[in-house]
Structure 1
Amino acid sequence: MNLLLMVTIFCVMKTIRGISLQKSTSHTFEMQEKRFVRSLVNQARLLSDWTEWSACNATICGIVGVQERYRNCSIAGEISVHLTICGQELHQAKPCEMPCITNQAVSLGSWNNWGSCSVSCGRGGVQTRQRDCLQILCTERFLQQRNCIGQNTCPQWSQWQEWSECSRSCGMGGVKIRERSCQVRRNTRVTQVVVNDILKRVSSPRQSSIQNVNASLCEGGDEVAEDAFPCMTSSSCRRNWSSWQPWSSCSATCGTGFSSGSRVCSGRIGSSCLGRPARYRRCYSPPCWSSWSGYTPCSISCGTGGGYRTRRRECRGTSTRVPQYMTCRGSNAERELCNTETCPVWGQWSRFDKCSKTCGSGRKMRTRTCVSGICRGRKFDVVSCNYQPCPYWSQWSSYTCCSVTCGPNGTKERTRACRHGGYRRAPFMNSCVGEWREQTNCSMHPCNVTPPSVFDTFECGVRNRRQTNNFSSSLLRIFGGQQSGPHGWPWQASWQYKNCNRCSWSHFCGATLVAPRWVIIAAHCIEESAQSMNHDNPGDLWSIVVGMHRFNEDGERYFIRRAIVHPNYIYRDVTDADIALVELRSEVPLTTEVVPVCLPQFSQPTVNETCFITGWGYTGPASSVSSRLSTTLLEAEVPIMNFTACQMLSPLYQEHLNSTNHMCAGDPVTAATDSCLGDSGGPLTCQRPDNTWYISGVTSFGFVECGTPGHVGIYTPLISFEEWVRTTIENNTYAAC
């Protein structure tokens, strides 16, 4: 079988493989293809005899030249000069000389030492030595050669191993292989260099270089370390269909449907049958009626003889191919009598009776009777009346300024408004009962005495030691805080808003009591709230709760007289001057559970000093499903951070923060403690050497969610705004208003 025929067989087998072995792994078949092609090449490879040695190319006597000879490698009649294809040497060369002939006397030098043997192993090597010609023309030889033997025994191929089994179990296109090893005998031991997997060597260049070097020691190199030969088996790989199974039942019980039949492809695994495994045909069942529709409205509402109402149905699944299935049996419509009763007649409505309330939405009613027949509808008609709100008194306003600026015998008054009514008692029904104005006596400091400072009239910054946390309570590690002892921070307050839809109070921000009638809060808790507030007349929807430990279970509520936001407050990306003062309508009685915190007195905490944050805010990031407002006052320790180091945390800190409006507290490495949403406006409290506590900052904001490593909380430094706080409180207290 010549090479062309063998390649043709291989291409046919490859085509069959593309049809029947589409799901086989490509890697295994590629190995078989390469081995199969190599087997074809081995059988078709042919080397010609060596040509005669060429003439010596030396042109001057006494100069060493070269003689060459060649042979060809033919593959299927085509001559190739590629050594990698034939695996044999195709060119040889040897040294030569051109003799010199002269009649003059010659003078020759001594012979040099013999050169190295031309082969490193085995016989057939040549050694050369030469001597110098001391005159221009020499007739004797000045170049000698002799045979030599290499230092080692040349590598030789071992005997071929037995042929492997055919790579395919059925059909044509299989390959069987055999291998041999390259042996080198050194010191009576045989070292074998074996090429086991040609395909693996090709796919791994690093491994291939090592094997090529080893295999190249023997004649032909790795091209003859493995031999492959095509093979085929006697069994066929074709699979056959079974007989068609009976037709299935019709898919439809009414009208046109389908039935199917199937067959099974059986035989060797690895091939497939030609054709479809299933077949289908149309089938017919008798048509059927749909469900009845609802009845149409009666043709009359009442009267002698009554009216009619109808209902319909549809014939479904008809077929023109089967004559008996073209229509359904029966009628597609039904009709029945309806509303046969005598028509009812209602009498006239009576007048409405007196309204049940004079205000606040009362009710009044009227009636009618059925004169004849069976009347449908209401016998009673009830409507709302006097729905205007009832008058009521608002909360008392704050007292006005005392009529004197110093000394006794002054008066002050407060007022209230009658909502939805008059201001005084009046003869009409919807007036409020009582007086709208109330006066009381007042006195001021003696006229010859300078009034004391507001902050000298009470003790500040003292915690009740019996109520402070003994650090034995359970750790609430959601955002790094722990439960505070009851009333352990007596200046902590809650800024709340009343949700009228539920008529309940909701915690909005933290706040800090700094004087009996004054509270510090973050300005954004007022200005950025979704519920707007009139600063000079907040009304009754905003309040401050002091003395509270558990949310809305204890403490006292105080309504707001007015709110004063720092004039430099602004919100652009972050807040600046984020501080405000809230004046209460009445003074807060000071007890061991309610004590104002001290102002900084123009001092500030040092770097790494530990201070405390407190509040009822969220116990974790707002995005966390388990995060919620705390029902108990929590506390956490935070270290004061160097402001320059704080600005280096990220470009956001560098761009938006300045030391006048911002201070940083927290550990960016561990992020173990931090203030969260709902803690805004609350205090950052530090302790003085005399054990009194002062407010060093107001909780303002954070660039990311609380407790995120690499970030800290941002606070408004009180030292920058203490003078404004003191001046505002002093000026608005001694106005006696």
Structure 2
Amino acid sequence: MSPVCLLLVVAIGLVFTLHFAKSDDVMCYEAVNEKTGECEEYLGDGVPKEDCCLNSKYGFRRETHDQCQSCRSAEWTEWGSWSLCSVSCEEGVHTRRRTCLGQGNCPGNSVEVKTCMVRECCPENGGWSIWSLWSPCSATCKTGRTQRTRQCNNPRPTCGGRCNGPEKEVDICETYLPCPIHGQWGNWGPWQGCSSTCKNELGTQPIQKRFRLCNNPEPSHSPPGNQCNGNVGENRVCDNLPFCAVDGEWGAWRRDSECSVTCAVGRVKEKRSCDSPSPRYGGRYCEGSNTRNAICNTKVPCPVDGQWTEWESWSKCSRLANDLIRCRPRVGTQVRKRKCDGTSPDGKWCEGDYRQSRTCYDIDNCRLNGTWSEWSSWGLCSSPCGWAERTRHRDCLGVYPDYPKQVEGAIAITEVVFSGTPRVSCNSIDGETKRLEERVECKNLPTCT
């Protein structure tokens, strides 16, 4: 293979390697706003995603206008504000949204909808009155314009309505009078002095100007004539001038300190010099600071503190030696546990207890009399768009036995809870003994796209 071909192969391989080496680079941030979901405290770009996410509190974007992504596990933000009502009259809906931040999917919906009403009535259009008389002609010579109007009051619109069609009509009118004399330019005046006493290194030259008058002839006054068309002045370049002063410009930044952190991504101090270009011909020195903080990457993961899992379900209410306590006023005990997950070797262990216990009465599958609850509040609409409905319900609630609410233990008095699912029934309403439901349609939802 010839030397030229060999160099070409090496160059293509290098470009290919650089392209794919940076394909997962991101813009890295120190924090993610929990309410808005926006990235904050920008560190820099060109950072590999896995390096940026060595700290689970950080966030990143792949492109400038991309949505911010959190390095932590997926979690919902707070709900946003309710939107304006979807219609301006009669019943519509409000919508609010939340964002799933982090890696993975969040359970539940990102949109909620509820009904609203801005005003009870919708606009009704009105009718026009008869046309007014034509106005005087707009021109004092030759032709002009005249107009007439009408009012929207026959009848008047209601609830924000209007009248269809124009409120005004315009027509041409003739004055039969002569028109004014329009102005023409006179001769140019002498050239004035140059706009500057020097020229810059890019070759931009100062200019000088001259002017003329609209007096050949002047516009008439009665009737009034038009002023001259075109520019009242013109410019030309000034030659043979010295160079202007060149102000200094900053050169490239250079590292001047160690990284501020020992894990993940931090900051480092950089310096620059006023030499691109240096000041010349009496120009000013560079403005601003010659130092700044820049991003640095340790490529070392930061400690991750543990987080409690959700509590497990309570165990069955029971008593030592398997005593019979179900459906009786005899107390038992329940326990539940949770785990401390996600702790790195150098992270903090979860604070608090991993185990809880409580005193209980076992009423699982016991027969209890029931009583109907009041109607609940209306729920959210079943869909954010198209057709949807909302519901409310009444439940058959058990009347619990009048067992003692507290018991005296070896150390202190403790509260006793009822444990298990009893068999409860209420008087029948519309054939139902457990739950009653009402459903109504949500009106004026937006069209699904």
Question: Normalising by the residue count of structure 2, what TM-score does the alignment of the two structures yield?
Answer: 0.25
Question: Normalising by the residue count of structure 1, what TM-score does the alignment of the two structures yield?
Answer: 0.17
Select the structure of larger CA radius of gyration: 1
Q: Which structure's residues are more often helix, by fraction?
A: 1
Give the number of the structure with larger relative contact order, counting CA–CA contacts within 8 Å between residues 6 or more apart: 2
